[in-house]
Structure 1
């Protein structure tokens, strides 16, 4: 028999708040082909992940602008207008978070996020500051999901048993990594499907 789930661990981006560079760059680069090329070859996911690993946005932007001076304004916009990529909360998920909290279920988060932008996100979405007993932020640990070590930070810092934790993430790679370290995991696609899983586990 698997352990009973007593603790819930949330990802944040695209689980609790939406994030997509397309929202910003559809305005800045209306041509779809040009926009796709820019986000695939200049402001790439790997470049963005370096900020999630702890590189400052100032250094990240300056480094990339030096390589592509003709795109400097578009590159700087990734940081300067970051909030345009975050239109708001994912519908329904914060309500589930609050319902779990009202039942006394311990809540944690493990997120790939730059330290700078996460502080800004917490200012904009105060529930990110108040809902969790602890938040493991990749930039502060200098490691990112799906690296198994980042889950170990959560367990060791909070004396948690992986087998009693449910992890929720929109990335299947992160979900599989969580399962690999002994957690139960839910691949997030919608609040309704998550709610059904939480009810099945007896958490709601």
Structure 2
């Protein structure tokens, strides 16, 4: 088995805490049942992921309002108040990222499902995003995880041998897609679990 020389990080859920509930618990005046129904049936994860693949926020909002006109204001809040969904950095993971960077043993890349229209907000907010040798943003590429083409694009763009790469993501679906392409992977659950998993792969931390 070849030695790992590249580590590919997901961002949301691994390094950045993003959650629409931060907005919609306020929108629905603390009614968690209404909030959960809305996020399951109206502004759904699948709908949001379509924007991660390059669909415009404006058109996506219009489409949803056409389907659910009674929720026009609430739907408008999804991208209208999007910055409030950024809860902050996941500090334990950022610390691990920094230790990997300082070790100078690895090429550090990010591969994220993220709208090209909202990603600049994250770039401005989180200084550690400057630490990566490169960031592949799904919305800029008009495709997203778990589709093969975004993994292959990442490998090609940054001259990565899949047999020497390690991918970290909190979404099992994305992990399985990477593994199918021969990329060893860690299904992220917490910074503490990540630290243990990295040692399992003989990753050197500064």
Matched, 1:5 2:15: no
**Other-structure match for 1:126:** 127
**Other-structure match for 2:98:** 98
Matched, 1:163 2:163: yes
The alpha-carbon deviation at position 66 of structure 1 amounts to 2.4
* Structure 1 moving runs of 4+ over 3 Å: none
Which structure 1 segments of 5+ residues have no match? none
The alpha-carbon deviation at position 170 of structure 1 amounts to 0.2
Distance in 1, matches of 2:103 and 2:33, equals: 48
**Other-structure match for 1:54:** 54
Distance in 1, matches of 2:187 and 2:11, equals: 13
More displaced 10-residue stretch of structure 1: 162-171 or 58-67: 58-67
Distance in 2, matches of 1:189 and 1:41, equals: 26
**Other-structure match for 1:26:** 25
Seen in structure 2, the aligned counterparts of structure 1 residues 36 and 202 have a Cα distance that, compared at 3 Å, is closer
Q: How many residues align?
A: 202
Distance in 2, matches of 1:186 and 1:31, equals: 35
**Other-structure match for 1:88:** 88
**Other-structure match for 2:115:** 114
Which structure 2 segments of 5+ residues have no match? none
Matched, 1:178 2:178: yes
The alpha-carbon deviation at position 40 of structure 1 amounts to 1.2
**Other-structure match for 2:192:** 192
Superposed CA RMSD = 1.2
**Other-structure match for 2:63:** 63
- SS of residue in 1 equivalent to 2:18: coil
TM (normalized to structure 2)? 0.94
- SS of residue in 1 equivalent to 2:61: helix
**Other-structure match for 2:42:** 42
Deviations 1:57-116 (A, max 9, x none): 111112212222221111111111112222111131111111111111210011100001
More displaced 10-residue stretch of structure 1: 67-76 or 175-184: 67-76
Distance in 2, matches of 1:9 and 1:93, equals: 13
- SS of residue in 2 equivalent to 1:145: coil
Distance in 1, matches of 2:61 and 2:99, equals: 40
- SS of residue in 2 equivalent to 1:3: coil
